[in-house]
Amino acid sequence: MPTPQDLAAGDPAILAAIQRARSVLNRRALAGAAASAVPVPGLDWLVDAALLSELLPAINAEFGLTPQQLDKLPKHKREQVQKAVTVVGSMLIGKFITRDLVIRAASMVGKRLTVKQAAKFVPIAGQALAALIGYSALRYLGESHIRDCVEVCRSAGLSLPPPEPLRLK
């Protein structure tokens, strides 16, 4: 599977957006890993859902793919983006991120998250494993979403918005 950098084909604006999105992804994945290590049942699921509901719109914004950004595009460009989203098959681009969408995205890594729940109750080693699984699950979902965003931008010939500082809570 090609990496987002491969898909960017050397486009400096897309490469910069990938770097900014990954920076946010790394911070959120570390926060998720910390929550995963805490042996409180269900806490990590709540934290992961909250992190994803902030992370996915932030990644979309880096690539100009939030609903508000897409509404500002000319009609023909919006249609190109919608076709590209359909081809890529993403359920998270250009939509308001709802609880149901976050649950569907998390179900993609469901087995990992189930193992994480069980592992966290083994002292020290289990908590470290739970943290590692939590980190890798969020990274996987984030990287997949970044790759989808790059594919949509390239397919639709979308010009990226100027970079803004990302503000996550």
How far is the C-alpha of 138 from the C-alpha of 160, rounded, in Å? 24
Domain ranges of the chain: 9-156
Task: Please determine, for residue 5, whether its predicted confidence score (pLDDT) is greater than 80.
Answer: yes
More confident of the two residues 129 and 122: 129
Q: Which has more pLDDT, 135 or 126?
A: 135
Q: Is pLDDT at 163 greater than 80 in this prediction?
A: no
Angstrom distance (rounded) from CA 2 to CA 27: 23
Report how far residue 136's alpha carbon sits from residue 119's, in angstroms, rounded to the nearest whole number: 15
